[in-house]
Chains A and B, each alone.
Chain A
Amino acid sequence: MQETIKIKPGNSWLNLDLKDLWIYRELLYFMTWRDVKIRYKQTTIGVFWAVLQPVLTTAIFTIIFSSFARFDSINVPYPLFALSGILVWLYVNTSITMASNSLIGNTNLVTKIYFPRLIVPIAATLSGLIDLLFGIFLLVLLMLYYGVNLTWQIIFAPVFVLLAILLTLAFGTLFSAVNVRFRDVKFALPFALQIWMFLSPVFYPLEILSEKWQAFFALNPLTGILQGFRASLFGTPFDWFSISLSVALTFILFMLALLVFKRMEDDFADLI
């Protein structure tokens, strides 16, 4: 006999149903693949956007911060410093935006077919990795150009990329669910993201701040991720305080987002 499915009134807090997500893993693959495929459809320069965005942003920051204002505490060339931060930021920024709009952008699926709803924001988050991949390629080229000496610390770089993905997933799933109910998210998010960028050491080094402020900024989980990513790339000492705080916060946010999403999931089809 086949498996029996029981449909009951829902909204339980602790049933994460991750088994279902595993059963539908192929759908996650296809949805990610779809989002990648259509990402640059009907654009003339296509995937070059993935390269152009970080290049232009880096160029602008370099012009501003190496001629008008200078950060003397950086021990790597500024373009390299900026690009390494911008890559991570662009990924977090675009993917959270995409994920937040993913459920309402797939209304026809949500109201017509059953599948674990989590797949939609996860696919949106994962499809952004293609841009990050191009960006990392660019970063490698720039590192070769400046002749950066790699240290053993480089093996930690992927860990921080993973953390960035996890953090993006947390905010992406959370906002996608909230967006179903409150469309304010669509308007508030770009604004909030912009503020977040200024509060994160994307284009400036954390060291320009006083000790007290550095500790305060470490409450932003992205701070530790950026600090750690740069430390592993450039062989500078790890800032364990901000890194450990960021790991803890990212996991807490991720669990929280999952719980909220699961709690709201049952009503998506009725509210969307």
Chain B
Amino acid sequence: MTTVIKVENLSKVYKLGGANHNSLRDALASFVRKPFAGRKKEELHALKNVSFEVKEGETLGIIGNNGAGKSTLLKILSRITKPTTGVVELCGRVGSLLEVGTGFHSELSGRENIYLNGAILGMKRTEIENKFDEIVAFSEIEKFLDTPVKHYSSGMYMRLAFAVAAHLEPEILIVDEVLAVGDHAFQKKCLNKMQDVSQSGRTVLFVSHDMSAISRICNRAIALSGGKIVLEGDSADVTREYLSTSWGMNAEKIYENASNAPESEFVRLKKARIINEQGETRGSHDIRNRIGIEITYEVLQSGKILLPNYQVYNEGRVHLFTIQDVSKEWKPREKEKGEYVSVGWIPGNLMAEGNFFVNIAVVTHLPTTIVHFHVREVVSFDVTDPMTGDTARGDFGGKMDGAVRPLVDWETRIVK
């Protein structure tokens, strides 16, 4: 089989701060202040020497948590941005669905948007004309074809957008998180369409947080972490291994340098981590087990009641809950100078499956409320259901919605 995607030593560096002057004034000001100093070099290495190959007809899954470099990789492959170093060779036309519905214009009708969007995705006019009926049938919007899409329901909009994208026939298809939107039935339709695409011998790159979708659809997968490939191989192996390690997650955050650690005059954060019941740092947790959020902090000045306060968010950035130290021992007690470790335990069988992010703060409530520091998304973790039948999922194997998934007690009596 021929190689259709060849990525060699790909790196991407984003210059932060200094280089991105948003206005002329900033650019001039920094030039006037330090004309020969050059720009402040704050750099973000989004990708570091990434190399891989994809053969014709393969479906490659790409996994990794936020900031691992997935989006940057896809942006380079779909030619939206250029690499800093390295080379990519692509054989054949590339279609990318980085976001379905890109380029739709709300004032234009469904019919007009099919043509416009098709052209934006790289289809020829004749190609769109030939597939027009098919696209309309797939999207199920026949009756509203001449209505401006701003009057569409979000479901209709998504169906139409995906229908256009799905009828693009590139040799290489790049898909990013299409499945994050739409209802269950629609997601299933999308997955089926993607399987059709790969079965017809074309190459698909699929990025998702959904491990089960990756292992189902893809034959190979790579996992990215911190801009590097950390796992590569059979998709089932990669997803399993990925979940069992803390690669994907930022399960631990250490503030080595006191100068940039979150602090107030009373307290400084030194370390935060997600632990299992054995006290080991773990990014991935069984839904049945307790999850500990542990912080290490230094009290710089005695005489304040200092209470750890955590806020837990899910992938959709929904604030699930806030927990703080309300123990009898420390709630009323002032902390002396020294180093402390506090763990808050989230009970097992409470969290839903997915990725979670933790904001960390230390507060004082008495006599008045003081927030000593508050840092967003310091650590993150992942919860999975082993599908053993003894969780809130029971024997259900599909996608289960809901922000939390408590395992509750049930009582059922026969009353008649």
Contact = CB atoms under 8 A, between A and B. Distances in A.
Interface in B82-120: 82-94, 96, 98-99, 102-103, 105, 107-108, 112, 115-116, 119-120
Nearest to B79: A114
Given A5-B79, A38-B107, A112 B102 contact: yes
Nearest to A33: B116
Contacts of B124: 26
Contacts of A181: 21
A72 interface: no
A4 B89 CA distance: 7
A142 B83 CA distance: 57
Contacts of A3: 91-92
Contact of A109 (B24, B79, B87, B102): B102
A3 B171 CA distance: 11
A111 B88 CA distance: 19
B51 interface: no
B99 A9 contact: no
Given A1-B91, A183-B23, A270 B103 contact: no
B96 A114 contact: yes
Contacts of B119: 26-27, 29-31
B22 interface: yes
Given A5-B79, A6-B87, A30-B115, A113 B92 contact: no
A41 B107 contact: yes
B258 interface: no
Contacts of B399: none
Contacts of A155: none
A183 B171 CA distance: 38
Interface in A1-38: 1-11, 24, 26-27, 29-31, 33-34, 37-38
A10 B82 contact: yes
A44 interface: no
Contact of B82 (A8, A33, A271): A8
Nearest to A111: B80
Contacts of B81: 266-267, 269-270
Interface in A70-107: none
B89 A113 contact: no
B40 interface: no
Interface in B115-131: 115-116, 119-122, 124-125
Contacts of A110: 80
Given A38-B105, A42-B107, A184-B25, A113 B88 contact: no
A20 B90 CA distance: 16
Contacts of B87: 6-8
Interface residues of B, number: 47
A113 B91 contact: no
B75 interface: yes
Which of B81, B90, B121 counts the most chain A CB atoms within 10 A?
B81
Contact of A9 (B82, B105, B107): B82
B112 to A, nearest CB: 7
A146 interface: no
Nearest to B94: A5
Which of A7, A10, A115 counts the most chain B CB atoms within 10 A?
A7
Given A9-B85, A27-B119, A182-B24, A108 B103 contact: yes
B403 interface: no
Interface string A233-266: 0000000000000000000000000000000001
B378 interface: no
A30 B116 CA distance: 6
B88 A34 contact: no
Contacts of B86: 9
A41 to B, nearest CB: 5
B89 A6 contact: yes
B76 interface: yes
Contacts of A6: 87-90
Interface string A176-191: 0000011110000000
B79 A108 contact: no
B27 interface: yes
B14 interface: yes
A270 B77 CA distance: 15
7 contacts: A1-B2, A7-B82, A27-B119, A27-B120, A112-B96, A115-B120, A183-B22
Interface of B: 2, 14, 20-25, 27, 75-94, 96, 98-99, 102-103, 105, 107-108, 112, 115-116, 119-122, 124-125, 171
Interface of A: 1-11, 24, 26-27, 29-31, 33-34, 37-38, 41-42, 108-115, 181-184, 266-267, 269-271
List 10 tightest A-B contacts by C-beta distance, closest first.
Answer: A114-B79, A2-B92, A7-B88, A30-B119, A10-B82, A112-B102, A184-B24, A269-B81, A5-B90, A182-B24
